[in-house]
Amino acid sequence: MHVTYVARSFLDYRVPVFAALDELTGGRLCVVFSQDYVPKRVSSKVTGVLGTRAIGLSGEWQLGHHDNALYANSTVAFQYQPELLKTIRRCRPDVLIGDGFFKWTLPSTFYKVMHGTPLVICYERTFHTERKAQWYRTASRRLVVRVTDAVCCSGRLCGEYTRSLGFPADRITYGHQVADVKTLLERSGQVAEQQIQERRSDLHLRGIVFLYVGRLIPLKGVMQLLEAWRIFSREAGNARCSLLIVGGGPQEAECRAYCIENDLDNVRMVGPIDYDMLPIYYRSSDVFVMPTLEDNWSLVVPEAMACGLPILCSKYNGCWPELVRPENGWVFDPLDISDTVNILALCLSKRELLQSMGEASRHIVENHTASQAANAIMEACSIAVKRHQ
């Protein structure tokens, strides 16, 4: 089966999925992407896996501006890649895969209509991330699903939203969105105990260490977390805990200023770090906290799980039904400061269970690997082909 995957942009975590999918197709996968948006290191990785079947295109035209730091549907932008349709035609796909109901998927939909090629959409959005979607966005998605043969959703919440667009449940598969779990499991296992102790000492981390990894932008809820942390830290025992923040962004100066103004000397901010350095920070911490106010599927959550951390996860994160269970973490509302304070205190009160909860995280995330993601996508391709037959 010749499969052409059209993905305008992606990062490192997607390359193992492409490798596994290529194996399932018998070496007949083509990935078409934008050289303008995929980082060079990632472009090199996917080319290393697929060779000339990794096709990067440049020279995209764009009308409007899209900002990933803003809430979903806050901006309007239209992209046109003049070489895209010709490139898809040269790939001669038996199945065409689009990434979401936006950007490069519209030309892919046009190709499907003109040539009758089965079309699969890999999708992530949820009712929460689409709560502010304008009528024309929702209408356009309803039109696209009418000609889509199968959808591979990231998880349950995505599936619920997809069905609300009028798409049949029997043509939905689940599980395409995963972190590079295999690599993280290997690298976290290579971190020595001495390295962990040295990193904790260098950063002056004390007690139970709560870790956040991600961009410092409003929709990630870091300021709300700091407000809750200030209240949580007032208790004498809680003051001996540490909050470690890894990442950079527009809110970094505001976050640092807030910590200084409120004497939060138990908060450590290390700024952005290289992706390959993440395991040492995960392993130097005891609990991972994700206070996002809007996310389709935070990949840092399965990354932390692969490194053996229990999870405190926002209920506005689309991954929680699959990844956060009573045995490995808790779900909270970051917009309710008292709820966040209570969940931090509850986690601290269960400190003797944190290690076993981290092991449960590892066990859960072992079922969310690149191989499983490729299988889910391939299952959607099979559904699409059978529907045409």
Fold of 181-365: Rossmann fold (3.40.50)
**One fold for both 3-178+369-388 and 181-365?**
yes
3-state secondary structure of 187: helix
Alpha-carbon distance 258 to 263, whole Å? 8
Percent of the chain with pLDDT over 90: 84
Query: What residue spans of the chain are helical by DSSP H?
Result: 15-24, 40-50, 84-91, 105-115, 135-147, 156-164, 181-189, 193-202, 222-232, 252-261, 278-283, 300-306, 320-323, 337-349, 354-365, 370-388
Backbone angles phi, psi at 35, to 5 degrees: -70, -20
Alpha-carbon distance 143 to 154, whole Å? 21
Q: What is the pLDDT of residue 348?
A: 94
Alpha-carbon distance 243 to 291, whole Å? 13
- Residue 237: pLDDT above 90? no
Q: What is the pLDDT of residue 91?
A: 95
- Find where tokens 């502010």 sit: 132
Q: What is the pLDDT of residue 275?
A: 82
- Residue 83: pLDDT above 70? yes
3-state secondary structure of 213: strand
- Residue 239: pLDDT above 80? no
3-state secondary structure of 271: strand
Question: Cβ atoms within 10 A of the Cβ of 8, count?
Answer: 22
**pLDDT, tens digit, 9 for 90 and up, residues 309-331:** 999 999 999 999 999 999 999 99
* pLDDT bracket for residue 236 (50, 70, 90): low
Across the chain, what does the average pLDDT equal?
94
- Domain range annotation of the chain: 3-178+369-388, 181-365
Average pLDDT over residues 204-231: 96
Alpha-carbon distance 47 to 32, whole Å? 11
Q: What is the pTM of this model?
A: 0.92
Domain at 3-178+369-388, CATH homologous superfamily:
Glycogen Phosphorylase B; (3.40.50.2000)
- Residue 80: pLDDT above 90? no
